Amino acid sequence: MNILHGFWRPEATSQFVQGGKFFIWIESDDVAVGKRKSNFHHQHLSNETCLAFLKQTLEISLRDKNSTGFQTLLLPTAEGLPLAAPEFNLEQPDTAITLADWQVFCCHLPQPLKAINHLHFLCCYQVADTRIGSDLLFWYYFSQSLKDILYKDHYLPAILATQNGKNT
């Protein structure tokens, strides 16, 4: 089983309006066996495996290789390993849980609102053995609430007034 995760990484600027990028990464129930790199998540799909899964299963084609790479995430950790996603329904350890930095292979989504909606549909109705993680589900519902605001014109008049040079 695969779990899709998503996160927003803002740009480090001092401006009021901050841009950023939305990334997805995939956690698998297959644990990487063998020599483990020190701070790499042991259940994430990496490099070619992730790209093949995105292209073949989720029908996401990436425009260039610069849209993929490793990102550092602060994840719950116990006994020196990151905890598996709650969607796997595994027992939680009895030891103390802390937060630690882990490297995961991520893919940048250039049109996140469209892609999140697409991923939600595929995971709910078409793709077997793949689920949306609670973090990506949050972003799905957040994007749906943004659509409601934009469709009701609660935000667009202020943008148009600013573009026309009027102060509101």
More confident residue, 150 or 105: 105
Three-state secondary structure call for residue 167 = coil
Identity at 86, one-letter amino acid code: P
Q: What is the pLDDT of residues 49-68, one digit of tens each?
A: 888 888 888 888 776 667 88
Pairwise CA distance, residues 25 & 27, whole Å: 7
DSSP-assigned beta bridge partners for residue 4? 26, 132
Q: What is the pLDDT of residues 16-35, one digit of tens each?
A: 888 899 999 999 887 665 44
